[in-house]
């Protein structure tokens, strides 16, 4: 019997020529497909001969292609089927395994659906960029572009010139510079302004962001000497004043982006810190983190310090990310007094931290949207998501449900529920934004498996689990992705 099965395993060439596999050549290089076919066939041979197959894991019930459903603990579909003598070795069926193998083994960065409700999800690429920004990347980067050339004279020009003007116009700053991300912006600013000098910062602001950005470590790396003042919950202006010596090079304020201290707290306003800096001729820098250009307070959310209001205090330098509340591509902006920005531009580190034309094209297009305030909340996806009315999410929930069969709805116990979205990306910590979600749970498949299958979809769908239920938050889902979610859920039920 086993020998018969082994004999009926198709050859690599047979599979390569089958229509199901030929279709894959649009998506994967032929070499990878051949590798995948070999691996799948070898695994089948191994499994049939009862040795442990390489693909055991991918062929068992964890995958959306493993129909018919198998029992918990089943070592593998192929083995299970072999024993019941009904093994399906048709190219159609095997091509599914080949596809699955290719997807698992050779997946690069790909489009994903964010149904987590976390708007700035660093794992999912933080801010999705506006349409115009994506178009601009297409238009400009397919050929040559005027990255560093002056059209009028034909002479070499500055890479940052246009974007600097735009940043100044929007923020009110005298000068600006763009680097790779905000961590780079902070590093460059500290290296330029405070290397070898004492930098005074409140203990409550020695933050860690995203696990790899720790303010004290970045300060040390830049050569600034860290002088902590105040306590975790309270810092007064006199704390800074008393710490100033002839070695002081900088007064630093950092936005507590991803946490909130509540209760008896005291922090020093930027305005007061700037006055102290002026009085003692010491520059003041503010790491804003999020870099909101529009105050979320305007739409009923808590106040977030905007770049404009910070610049207005007369602060020497502010730094902020361009892929957080600003809603653009990854980048970091340094803006403020021309005297300091000019110094930063001359720092050799600037060359190492400089951005490419991709960033400049996308950031310029995003920033231009801020020149028309009425349109920003519509055209910048991050802002559109933050300010989306409940009806939008409700509508999407209804559309997903209307596209599903009654069987699926019953199998998954699907319902519309209320809950909360989060800003993420170290912005508006603790703030819960009311939303509408799809909730599902099944007696047959546990929640972990459902989310794993959703991740295995093409494109992968990311959801969250709360109290054994799978939740799909419609706030971060694009209208065009609604059908894909419905189809993915249908497929899970059928598998």
Residues that bind ligand PLP (CB under 6 A): 181-183, 186, 209, 213, 254-255, 257, 287, 289-290, 321, 332, 426
**Structure tokens, 369:** 């949207």
- The minimum distance between CB 425 and ligand PLP, in angstroms, equals 7
Q: Which one-letter DSSP state was computed for residue 152?
A: T
Give the end-to-end CA distance of the chain in Å, rounded to a whole number: 28
Smallest gap from residue 209 Cβ to ligand PLP (A): 4
> Dihedral angle at the C-alpha atoms of 11, 17, 19, 21, nearest 10 degrees?
60
Residue pair 66/60 in contact by the 8 Å Cβ criterion: yes
Shortest spacing between CB 57 and ligand PLP, in angstroms: 34
Smallest distance from ligand PLP to CB 262, Å: 19
What is the CA 359 to chain-centroid distance, rounded? 16
For the bound state, the minimum distance from the C-beta of residue 176 to ligand PLP, rounded and expressed in Å, comes to 16
Residue closer to ligand PLP (CB basis): 318 or 451: 318
* CB contact at 8 A, 66 and 77: yes
Shortest gap between Cβ of 289 and ligand PLP (angstroms)? 2
* Beta-carbon count within 10 A of 100 CB: 20
Nearer to ligand PLP, 76 or 289 (CB): 289
Tokens of 342: 């000019």
- Residue 64 or residue 319: which is nearer to ligand PLP going by CB? 319
The rounded distance, in Å, linking the Cα atoms of 373 and 298 is 12
Nearer to ligand PLP, 249 or 289 (CB): 289
Cβ distance to ligand PLP smaller for residue 186 or 317:
186
CB of 182 or CB of 310, closer to ligand PLP: 182
Smaller CB separation from ligand PLP, 15 or 334: 334
Q: Angle, nearest 10°, between helix axes 482-494 and 447-455? A: 120
Length of the chain: 495
- What residues form DSSP beta bridges with 462? 114
SS3 state at 470: strand
Question: Which residue, judged by CB position, is nearest to ligand PLP in the bound state?
Answer: 289
Q: Smallest gap, in angstroms, from Cβ of residue 186 to ligand PLP? A: 6
The two tokens of residue 210 are: 């995203």
As given in the structure block, the two tokens for residue 135 are 């178009």
CB of 460 to ligand PLP, least distance (A): 23
Any idea which residue has 């070999």 for tokens? 38
Q: Which is nearer to ligand PLP, 324 or 337 (CB)?
A: 324
Neighbours of 301 (CB within 10 A): 15
The DSSP call for residue 80 is H
């Amino acid at each position: 019997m086993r020998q018969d099965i082994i004999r009926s395993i198709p050859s690599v060439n047979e599979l390569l020529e089958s229509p199901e596999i030929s279709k894959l050549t649009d998506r994967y290089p032929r070499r990878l497909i051949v590798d995948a076919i070999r691996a799948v066939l070898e695994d089948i041979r191994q499994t049939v001969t009862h040795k442990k197959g390489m693909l055991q894991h991918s062929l068992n019930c964890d995958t959306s292609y493993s129909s018919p459903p198998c029992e918990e603990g089943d070592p593998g579909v192929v083995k299970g089927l072999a024993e019941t003598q009904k093994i399906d070795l048709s190219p159609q069926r095997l091509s599914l395994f080949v596809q699955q193998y290719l997807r698992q083994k050779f997946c690069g960065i790909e489009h994903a659906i964010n149904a987590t409700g976390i708007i700035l999800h660093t794992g999912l690429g933080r801010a999705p960029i506006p349409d115009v920004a994506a178009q601009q990347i297409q238009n400009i980067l397919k050929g040559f572009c005027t990255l560093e050339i002056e059209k009028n004279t034909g002479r070499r020009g500055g890479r940052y010139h246009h974007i600097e003007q735009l940043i100044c116009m929007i923020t009110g700053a005298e000068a600006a510079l763009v680097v790779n991300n905000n961590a780079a912006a902070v590093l460059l600013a500290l290296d330029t302004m405070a290397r070898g000098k004492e930098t005074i910062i409140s203990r409550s602001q020695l933050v860690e962001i995203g696990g790899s950005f720790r303010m004290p470590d970045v300060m040390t790396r830049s050569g600034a000497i860290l002088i902590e003042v105040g306590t975790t919950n309270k810092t007064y202006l006199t704390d800074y004043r008393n710490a100033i010596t002839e070695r002081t090079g900088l007064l630093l304020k950092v936005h507590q982006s991803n946490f909130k201290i509540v209760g008896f707290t005291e922090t020093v306003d930027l305005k007061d810190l700037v006055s102290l800096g002026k009085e003692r001729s010491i520059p003041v820098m503010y790491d804003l983190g999020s870099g909101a250009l529009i105050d979320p307070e305007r739409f009923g959310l808590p106040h977030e310090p905007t770049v404009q209001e910070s610049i207005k205090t007369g602060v020497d330098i502010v730094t902020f990310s361009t892929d957080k509340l600003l809603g653009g591509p990854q980048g970091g902006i340094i803006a403020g007094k021309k005297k300091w920005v000019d110094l930063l531009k001359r720092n050799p580190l600037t060359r190492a931290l400089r951005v490419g034309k991709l960033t400049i094209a996308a950031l310029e297009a995003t920033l231009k949207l801020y020149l028309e305030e009425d349109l920003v909340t519509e055209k910048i996806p991050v802002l559109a998501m933050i300010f989306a009315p409940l009806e939008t999410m409700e509508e999407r929930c209804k559309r997903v449900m209307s596209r599903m069969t009654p069987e699926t709805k019953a199998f998954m116990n699907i319902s519309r529920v209320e809950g909360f979205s989060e800003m993420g990306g170290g912005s508006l910590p603790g703030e819960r934004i009311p939303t509408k979600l799809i909730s599902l749970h099944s007696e047959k498949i546990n929640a972990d498996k459902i989310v794993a299958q959703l991740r295995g979809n093409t494109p992968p769908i990311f959801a969250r689990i709360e109290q054994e239920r799978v939740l799909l938050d419609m706030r971060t889902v694009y209208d065009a992705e609604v059908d894909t979610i419905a189809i993915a859920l249908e497929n899970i039920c059928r598998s």
